Structure 1
């Protein structure tokens, strides 16, 4: 059985191979145009050397972090624009005005992002978060980027994952891909936003046995209905499963936000003492025995939080009994992370137009 690291490597090799095929198709025309700029018959290594030099100059390869290839390219374009405006001689400025070369450079950078994926995103585990599973032990669902049932398992289509036009783990994502029903090996689809919210409140909410969780479901549905851009809102994931599709699993997080806009990953635990720290047989136990039992339970709770962080990069916020007295305030804390967005940055298309005009 392949390790997660080996599967991830094969996965990205397929994406890289697909982009390489696209590059090879346009290469003859690109080399011809590049040679005209250089004034002699330029080689492929010369072309790639020029692109790579600009990559090193335009990007902070040591501290930079990019969650998507579009972020990676946008930062490269911003660096190129700054370099041109500084007045420094720049061969890429001439190259970028030619459509064939421009398209080649953008594809080259996209391939570079996937070729060094773990480095670009600071080694966060792709396989764990691009196929996520949530729900109870019996009734649970999958949210994949580009789902397909192949070789007796659910997986992403490598050629599609880089071409989706929605933000990962958003409401728009769920509406476009639907949710995987692993029991019937089918996709559960939604007609529109109202249909999805009905599922959220009528199915997911009703499955929960917690009065506190039920309030969060209701608050979230209200939040989405009031949103000016509901499709871009992060999907509030209930019962995020630590071990994915396995029916018997180690942990679940009550609610999780994977914010594709900021890269933040936040889990929430609603932890009333009655369910998380209760000790059985309290009347027959000594204080020492109770302290020992409490220490074991506390250790398990901390282990759960640590393992979610180590495995998924998820930081967990816990609401205690006192917090749960005001559930509206608890949701306001969730809303803070749901609504967070990156500072406005220019789109790739806007940056390209500005660079061409320089």
Structure 2
């Protein structure tokens, strides 16, 4: 049996409660306003939110945020023309306290029903494709992938990015789109979360040859499989390529997590001395020359992290040998970013009075 998403279950329960409250209020609302039916009521007020809110661009954080935007847009529309239906409807809303309560509950239910689409921050077009992996073993993760035959390359369908249903850069994302093959009209699709995680662990990460990366990837796999809603967990993205599709290798990050709510990025770099600082041949070198080589190695590593921050806004956490002795602790750091906190923008019911009170 599929595991239930506790957040979605809670929303559905609240929607059901709101349905009951709206049914109870309806007769008195119709009587007080003179509106003939629930269909007319919902047509006059409920169906207008796309007229009053910039749905394409607004990221709406909460039901009360949605209601605030709706009422502000409604009031502005009513002000423009005192002879319009918007003006008459707004005056009716001002005069009826029962209607105000009904609309508040109705809009709250509307937001909860459309929560996924309304609450998501959308990536910029230039950030809607990432490329991972080593040369000749690299893959693309796009939001709305389509293959452009004219240039023989994958690109995003820009008009559909905002309609993407899964959380961006989540397990649900890769299950929806798969991974694309650069330069070929082919992609790897996954029939289950288990199948993706096996590919992630034994193809994407194992290919790096790092035992530390492999063990952390295994901890991530177990974490996802134990989740009640694995599709909502952010991807642990391996080998994020600084140069994107550029064949000439410049930099890669061991792991990256993109918060699907705010789209903030955090990188994780495993830097054991054996591969990031060790100087193999010192015979015949002066101490000054050895120090110069060590300095250049360090500066090269730091430039990598600064470059990722400048280009992608990725802040990088660096783990050295003493950290790598305890991979559970490193994964605990990762887990903090795998459990993004829901945004809150709490307002009060008083917002109804604040916005609709006063003259137009």
Q: TM-score higher than 0.5 here?
A: yes
Q: CA deviation at 1:78?
A: 4.7
Q: For this pair of structures, how many residues does the alignment match?
A: 267
Contact between 2:61 and 2:345, CA under 8 Å: does it hold in 1? no
- Alpha-carbon RMSD across the aligned residues, in angstroms, is 3.9
2:130 paired residue number: 132
Q: Secondary structure at the match of 1:132?
A: strand
Q: Which runs of 5+ in 2 are unaligned?
A: 1-43, 46-50, 80-85, 94-102, 112-117, 347-356
Using the alignment, how far apart are the partners of 1:339 and 1:67 within structure 2?
27
Q: Secondary structure at the match of 1:182?
A: coil
1:203 paired residue number: 203
Task: Tell me the TM-score normalized by structure 2.
Answer: 0.65
Q: Deviations over 1:25-82 (max 9, x none)?
A: xxxxxxxxxxx99xxxxxxxxxxxx96xx98xxxxxxxxxx99744379786253478
Q: Secondary structure at the match of 2:60?
A: helix
1:77 paired residue number: 66
2:139 paired residue number: 141
Give the number of the structure whose alpha-carbon radius of gyration is greater.
2
1:31 paired residue number: none
Using the alignment, how far apart are the partners of 1:69 and 1:128 within structure 2?
19
Aligned pairs for 1:25-104 (under 5 A) are 69-71=58-60, 77-80=66-69, 94=89
Q: CA deviation at 1:327?
A: 0.8
Q: CA deviation at 1:162?
A: 1.6
Using the alignment, how far apart are the partners of 1:205 and 1:137 within structure 2?
14
Query: Structure 1's 272 and 75: CA in aligned 2 closer, same or farther, altered over 3 A?
Result: farther
Contact between 1:266 and 1:317, CA under 8 Å: does it hold in 2? yes
Q: Secondary structure at the match of 2:255?
A: strand
Using the alignment, how far apart are the partners of 1:283 and 1:306 within structure 2?
33
Contact between 1:262 and 1:341, CA under 8 Å: does it hold in 2? no
Q: Deviations over 1:184-231 (max 9, x none)?
A: 431111111111112112212321201101101101101100112110
Q: Secondary structure at the match of 1:267?
A: strand
Contact between 1:277 and 1:294, CA under 8 Å: does it hold in 2? yes
Using the alignment, how far apart are the partners of 2:219 and 2:176 within structure 1?
23
Contact between 2:251 and 2:304, CA under 8 Å: does it hold in 1? yes
Contact between 1:67 and 1:263, CA under 8 Å: does it hold in 2? no
- Shifted more, 332-341 versus 321-330: the winner is 332-341
Q: Deviations over 1:98-135 (max 9, x none)?
A: x9xx9xxx9xxxxxx9xxxxxx99xxx83442110001
Q: Which runs of 5+ in 1 are unaligned?
A: 1-35, 38-49, 56-65, 107-112, 114-119, 347-357
Query: Structure 1's 156 and 281: CA in aligned 2 closer, same or farther, altered over 3 A?
Result: same
1:268 paired residue number: 268
Contact between 1:133 and 1:143, CA under 8 Å: does it hold in 2? yes
Aligned pairs for 1:316-335 (under 5 A) are 316-335=316-335
Using the alignment, how far apart are the partners of 1:226 and 1:281 within structure 2?
47
2:254 paired residue number: 254
Q: CA deviation at 1:297?
A: 1.1
Q: CA deviation at 1:265?
A: 0.6
Aligned pairs for 1:170-319 (under 5 A) are 170-182=170-182, 184-319=184-319
Contact between 1:128 and 1:312, CA under 8 Å: does it hold in 2? no
Query: Structure 1's 320 and 78: CA in aligned 2 closer, same or farther, altered over 3 A?
Result: farther
Contact between 2:154 and 2:183, CA under 8 Å: does it hold in 1? no
Q: CA deviation at 1:252?
A: 0.2
2:353 paired residue number: none
Query: Structure 1's 335 and 67: CA in aligned 2 closer, same or farther, altered over 3 A?
Result: farther
